Structure 1
Amino acid sequence: MGEPTIGPKDGFDPVEDGTKLRTAMKGFGTDEQAIIDVLTSVNNVQRQELRNFFTTEYGRDLIKDLKSELGGHFEDVIIALMLPPVEYLCKELHKAMKGIGTEEHALIEIVCTKNNDEIKQIVDKYEEMYDRPLAEHLCSETGGDFRRLLTLIITGVRNDESEVNPEKAREQAEALYNAGEAKWGTDEEIFNKILAHESFAQLKLVFEQYKEVSGNTMEQAIKHELDGELKEAMLAIVECVQSPPAFFAKRLHAAMAGVGTDDRTLIRIIVSRSEIDLGDIKKEFERIYDKTLESFVKGETSGDYKRALVALIGGA
């Protein structure tokens, strides 16, 4: 189990916190800091209780009230916090495929990092929200081996058994080697089949065996043999098998490094991992980049947006 930065608030009282939120938004001006303090000190289950309190006590929709009071990326963070986690990820998937062009990075980050149970929740919720199967929408927005990989994952083919099979791992490592480095051209189908079907525990063993068979790491092989979105998706799976916190730390760094900040990715990872393993991601970020995640975020964001993210990270 990972180390979250947000957990349930001890002695939580929806009446007390709900009243604070109402006061923060009532009258002239908005007390943004009060909103940050309340919503980053409780977990998502408790935020849903605050929503219910607003409806029963004031006859108001808390999310609508927040949207009318806030703006910009600060509003994005606060609304992301208020949505149930699966609903939020479905919205992010839908946004990534809406309109012209597709945000493959977002699809990869959400789909390739989940186990079967998480995928099933997303698939069910997506169809409920958009009256369209996620598989169909993904198929219309992606192509080739990348589409095949995503489709395999969201149809829940991944083996979730915790038992690992060392003999099979050796065979699979050899199959991957023969499908890529050992031949001219690459048989993407073999890569898709193994990386989409096997449990993360089994894949960990396969990748260790691969190093013995080939002399190269799985990452090196993928970088050499594949390209485009398929390469990025396969690397995401490999990194998540080895260390989800390191994968997300690298994604956060990429979202903030270079010209301009990828705010959507920054918000999505910090909000969606805050109750799972953001504490571990922080440690990995500092280990890899020799700089704290908090200081990086402070340098790339400003105002209420910055304060909200820093509060979620667990900084001062």
Structure 2
Amino acid sequence: SLSQTLLNQGTVTPYPHFSADGDAGILDKAIKAKGVDENTIIDVLVKRSNAQRQQIKASYQKASGKPLETALKSALNGELEDVVLALLKTPAQYDAQQLRLAMKGLGTDEDTLIEILASRTNKEIKEIKKAYQEEYKNELQNDIKSDTGGDFRNALLSLCKATRNEDIIVNQELAESDAKALYEAGEKKKGTDCSVFIDILTTRSAPQLRQGEYVTAHLCACAIPQDKGTRTKILTRVMVSRSEVDMARIKQEYKKTFGKTLYQDILNDTNGDYEKILLALCGSDS
């Protein structure tokens, strides 16, 4: 099955000797340490799977009477805070938040809408819709209807139905030529050439779209011509949301596209604790 094929391609895996209460205690100590012990916070959160982080949150809440997010929010700031809070959400909650920001921010961020809705499984899209409804008291489809238009809106709404065939044999060559087209569409001009994206995402099967090439092409297309703020946002989102899914695959594709590693580019492009946590999510420099 598709999920079997994608298994073991993440750089973040469940921690073998896991104790939610133990980790909650370690985090509490790190938060209260003089000057805050960021290294320990990064180390604990990146070496635990999302499911394990959810258990740590529950333990922390029980022990201290307040949400772990609240404690970390007041202890951290900047880009490190963004990544840490993202890691504490379930994948569906994080995707829902990113979709909401893409529509409710200044102007509509089409790239993000495409990247998320085109690369998630039917089951994941159903979970995103549920999380969206719970968090924002509105249906995802309604916000898409009011914030987008034309072919683009239709493409997104059809992806929202979560009814795409998921057991089609993937055509590797097509994935690579599509990736090239997407990359060029993004590189040729500031902002992305949406028509190329729409064409590809409405005509390819779901497994085809979830090849690492597509996400990487988006990471690449968007990371180059844009301002630092936009680049940071994309980098954070891809590193957080793919670290447990197909980061190993994305790293391969990135190297193939650019002739240098994602790890090296993160080293060159970021610094401080933000760099530290991204490199930890990236895994080895290979």
Give the TM interval when normalised to the shorter protein: 0.7 to 0.9
Deviations 1:236-264 (A, max 9, x none): 56597166212222222334324633111
Amino acid at match of 1:234: D
Pick from 44, 48, 56 the counterpart of residue 50 of structure 1.
56
Q: Does residue 1:254 correspond to 2:221, yes or no?
A: yes
From 176, 190, 194, the equivalent of 1:229 is 194
**1:7/1:42 contact within 8 Å kept:** yes
Report the Cα distance in structure 1 between the residues aligned to 2:66 and 2:179, rounded to whole angstroms. Answer: 53
Matched, 1:64 2:73: no
Partner of 2:188: none
SS of the equivalent of 1:112 reads helix
Tell me which moved more, 233-242 or 64-73.
233-242
- 1:99-138 mapped onto 2 (5 Å cutoff): 99-138=105-144
TM-superposed deviation, 1:299: 0.8
Residues 73 and 219 of structure 1: CA distance in aligned 2, closer, same or farther (over 3 Å): closer
CA contact (8 A) 2:179 2:217 kept: no
Q: 2:211 — aligned with what?
A: 244
Counterpart for residue 13 of structure 1 = 19
Q: How does 1:145-164 map to 2 (within 5 A)?
A: 145-160=151-166, 162=167
Equivalent-residue separation in structure 2 for 1:35 and 1:159 (angstroms): 40
Considering only CA atoms, is the larger Rg found in Structure 1 or Structure 2?
1
Correspondence for 2:258 among 289, 298, 303: 289
Please say if residues 109 and 236 of structure 1, whose CA atoms lie closer than 8 Å, have aligned partners that are also in contact: no
Q: Is the 8 A contact 2:20 2:59 kept in 1?
A: yes
The residue that corresponds to 1:301 in the other structure is 270
Q: 22, 25, 34: which is aligned to 1:28?
A: 34
Match status 1:264 vs 2:233: yes
Report the 3-state secondary structure (helix = DSSP H, G, I; strand = E; otherwise coil) of the residue aligned with 1:251: helix
CA deviations 1:32-56 (Å, max 9, x no partner) are 1110011011111111111111111
- Report 1:137-148 matches (<5 A): 137-148=143-154
State the alpha-carbon separation in 2 of the partners of residues 243 and 57 from structure 1: 40
- Residue 202 of structure 1: how far off its partner (Å): 6.4
CA distance in 2, matches of 1:114, 1:27: 39
What is the identity, as a one-letter code, of the residue corresponding to 1:232? F
Moved more, 247-256 or 230-239: 230-239
Q: What is the identity, as a one-letter code, of the residue corresponding to 1:252?
A: L
TM-score normalised per structure 2: 0.84
CA 1:49/1:16 → structure 2, altered by over 3 Å: closer, same or farther?
A: same
What SS does the corresponding residue of 1:279 show, helix, strand or coil?
helix
Q: TM-score, normalised by structure 1?
A: 0.77
Contact 2:21 2:60 in 1 (8 A): no
Opposite residue 223 of structure 2, the aligned amino acid is M
CA distance in 1, matches of 2:103, 2:225: 25
Match of residue 187 from structure 1:
none
User: Partner amino acid for 1:285?
Assistant: Y
Is the CA contact (8 Å cut-off) linking 1:236 and 1:247 kept in structure 2? no
Alignment CA distance shift 1:243-1:272 (3 Å): closer
Deviation at 1:204, TM superposition (A): 4.6
Mapped to 1, the partners of 2:11 and 2:51 lie a distance apart of 15
- Paired residue secondary structure (1:12): coil
Deviates more, 1:285-294 or 1:79-88: 285-294
| 1:311 has 2:280 as partner | yes
Cα deviation for residue 267 of structure 1 reads: 0.7
User: Percent of counterpart pairs with the same letter?
Assistant: 33
Partner of 1:156: helix, strand, or coil? coil
Which consecutive unaligned segments of at least 5 residues does structure 1 have? 163-200, 209-215
Q: State the match for 1:94 in structure 2.
A: 100
Tell me the alpha carbon deviations over residues 37-76 of structure 1, each in whole angstroms, 9 at most, x when there is no partner.
1101111111111111111111121011111111111111
Distance 1:217 1:16 in 2: 46
Structure 1 consecutive aligned stretches of length 4 or more whose deviation exceeds 6 Å: 216-220
